[in-house]
């Protein structure tokens, strides 16, 4: 582990008001936060401490077509590139299970209809020929724009596709194509194109789906029309709570355009919805605050640090550097940051203090237990997941058992390896954990105990010998 250590000349009483052992003494102050960094499959943990629809917008579509025709003239001799991936893959859970089989390709599933994507804008005849050569069952226009979005194709090529579609459909381009074209515009930071698509969508649709709103907000914040992103945020609020990414983009836009009060108001609104802010949202506030002497702004940044501590949110290394840079840049202060290490005892080599323990107090444990029982197991409507009788049976079962070290979701664990027999997989997992003298609880359904091609009784009996088991009625 690495530690990020700050030393300074003023105290930060808010940080250790409830933890006296964090206080160092007059003239110095320290504060600790956990730092997390992911590198591929490795998990490195680090610390740092402080020592409805309206008429088609034909003008906008005509502009799109005109631009595409203009761009085609200068790019007739370009080569082609190869693509073999879909934009949208199968569900993450299915993908993870497939990764456990002996496959050489651990990425997206291969495209059956391999096709070379054009690297230059095509005219109408060329797109007609392109479609004739397509052998897939999917809609050609939707499929090809998905491929372009996945491969981050040139805006000019995608624009020629939309112009061809518009010419065939009386100037109308479908929503699906517009959204994927918008994705490319945002990715390549073509702000003028984002605004063109925005005008088309605004004229054609009274409401968008969340993905469309998100892309428009993300694109508009970098333009001089960034405040219109706030109007889109208000549209989202009419039907649902905006996502933390929506808030992040609007906050970044406000800071980018120097509207600090708006940024803080949006941040408080985000917290008011019980959303956990993205770490890059918090990082943006620290980056903006460099070299600013403003006690009110500084206090708000200290509140963010407290929020990280109290909610066990762990900054990545880039965020840690932003915090370090902000502390060292505050005019009139003398903070100095450095990287150190954390000893096995939890003591910081930089400041000499012991890192705050994450163990739950008895009161915190009781609160957590009651909340899980009420919000997760009961869920407010017992008949959605169980019955009152079964819930009572489960509660009595737990009371009669010793504390468990590990709780195993038997049905899902058993399905981890699709080609293997499910009872065999579960038995293997339970056996390996039982060798470590751990108290195990296996949760499952009663059908798991019946003889079946996927479930063998003898294997399930071995599971029951090595672990406490609770099998619910089949729902």
8 A C-beta contact, residue 206 and residue 54: yes
Nearest Cα neighbor of 335 from 5, 6, 4, 54 is: 6
Task: Give Cα 468 to chain centroid, integer Å.
Answer: 35
Residues 6+ apart with CB under 8 A from 26: 11
Report the alpha-carbon distance of residue 254 to residue 244 in Å, rounded.
15
Report the alpha-carbon distance of residue 179 to residue 187 in Å, rounded.
12
Write down the pLDDT at residue 44. 41
CATH fold of the domain at 387-474: Rossmann fold (3.40.50)
Domains 124-287 and 387-474 share a fold: no
Report the alpha-carbon distance of residue 37 to residue 179 in Å, rounded.
33
Q: What would you report as the CA-atom Rg of the chain, rounded to the nearest whole angstrom? A: 29
How many CB atoms neighbour CB 159 within 10 A? 25
Report the alpha-carbon distance of residue 267 to residue 240 in Å, rounded.
17
Does pTM top 0.95 for this prediction?
no
Q: Is 237 helix (H, G, I), strand (E, B) or coil?
A: helix
CATH no. of 124-287: 1.25.40
Q: In 3-state terms, the chain is what percent helix, strand and coil (to 5)?
A: 50, 15, 35
Domain limits of the chain? 124-287, 288-339, 357-385, 387-474
Write down the pLDDT at residue 214. 95
Residue environment code for 202-225, b if the CB has 16+ CB neighbours within 10 A, otherwise e: bbbeeebeeebbbbbbbbbbbbee
Write down the pLDDT at residue 56. 45
Write down the pLDDT at residue 18. 36
Write down the pLDDT at residue 258. 94
What is the DSSP secondary structure assignment for residue 341, as one 8-state letter?
E
Write down the pLDDT at residue 13. 36
Write down the pLDDT at residue 426. 93
pLDDT digit of tens for each residue in the chain (475 aa)?
A: 444 555 443 434 344 333 333 333 334 444 444 444 433 333 444 444 443 334 444 444 455 545 544 444 444 433 333 333 333 333 444 444 444 444 333 333 444 456 788 889 999 999 999 888 888 778 889 999 999 999 999 999 999 999 999 999 988 889 999 999 999 999 999 999 999 999 999 999 988 999 999 999 999 999 999 999 999 999 999 999 999 999 999 999 999 999 999 999 999 999 999 999 999 999 999 999 998 888 999 999 999 999 999 898 989 889 999 999 999 998 888 888 887 778 888 888 888 888 877 778 889 888 988 888 778 777 666 666 677 788 888 888 888 888 889 999 998 999 888 888 999 999 999 999 999 988 999 998 888 888 887 888 899 999 999 999 988 875 5
Write down the pLDDT at residue 181. 94
């Amino acid at each position: 582990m690495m530690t990020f250590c700050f030393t300074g000349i003023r105290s930060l009483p808010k940080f250790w008001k409830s933890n006296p052992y964090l206080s160092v003494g007059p003239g110095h102050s320290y504060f600790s936060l956990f730092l997390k960094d992911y590198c591929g499959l490795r998990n490195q943990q680090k610390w740092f401490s402080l020592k409805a629809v309206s008429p088609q917008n034909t003008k906008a579509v005509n502009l799109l077509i005109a631009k595409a025709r203009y761009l085609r003239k200068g790019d007739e001799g370009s080569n082609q590139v190869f693509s073999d991936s879909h934009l949208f893959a199968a569900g993450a859970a299915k993908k993870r299970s497939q990764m456990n089989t002996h496959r050489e390709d651990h990425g997206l599933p291969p495209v059956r209809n391999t096709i070379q994507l054009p690297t230059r804008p095509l005219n109408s005849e060329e797109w007609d020929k392109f479609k004739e050569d397509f052998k897939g069952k999917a809609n050609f226009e939707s499929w090809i724009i998905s491929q372009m979005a996945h491969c981050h194709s040139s805006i000019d090529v995608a624009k020629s596709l939309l112009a061809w579609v518009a010419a065939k459909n009386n100037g109308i381009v479908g929503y699906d194509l517009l959204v994927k074209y918008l994705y490319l515009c945002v990715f390549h930071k073509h702000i003028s194109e984002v605004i063109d698509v925005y005008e088309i969508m605004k004229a054609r649709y009274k409401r968008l789906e969340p993905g469309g709103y998100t892309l428009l907000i993300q694109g508009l914040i970098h333009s001089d029309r960034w405040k219109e992103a706030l109007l889109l945020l208000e549209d989202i609020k009419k039907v649902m709570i905006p996502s933390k990414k929506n808030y992040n983009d609007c906050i970044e836009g406000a800071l980018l355009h120097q509207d600090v009060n708006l940024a803080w108001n949006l941040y408080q609104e985000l917290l008011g919805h019980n959303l956990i802010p993205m770490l890059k949202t918090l990082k943006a506030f620290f980056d903006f605050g460099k070299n600013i002497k403003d006690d009110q702004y500084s206090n708000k940044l200290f509140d963010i640090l407290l929020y990280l501590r109290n909610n066990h949110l762990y900054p990545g290394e880039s965020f840690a550097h932003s915090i370090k840079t902000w502390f060292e840049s505050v005019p009139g202060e003398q903070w100095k940051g450095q990287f150190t290490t954390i000893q096995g005892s939890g003591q910081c080599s930089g400041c000499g203090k012991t890192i705050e323990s994450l163990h739950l107090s008895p009161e915190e444990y009781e609160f957590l237990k009651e909340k899980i029982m009420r919000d997760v197991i009961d869920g407010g409507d017992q008949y959605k997941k169980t019955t009152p009788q079964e819930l009572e049976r489960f509660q009595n079962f737990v009371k009669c058992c010793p504390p468990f070290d590990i709780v195993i979701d038997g049905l899902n664990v058993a399905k981890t390896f699709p080609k293997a027999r499910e009872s065999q997989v579960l038995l293997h997992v339970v056996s390996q954990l039982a060798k470590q003298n751990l108290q195990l609880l296996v949760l499952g359904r009663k059908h798991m105990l019946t003889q079946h091609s996927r479930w063998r009784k003898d294997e399930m009996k071995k599971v029951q010998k090595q672990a406490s088991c609770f099998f619910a009625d089949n729902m």
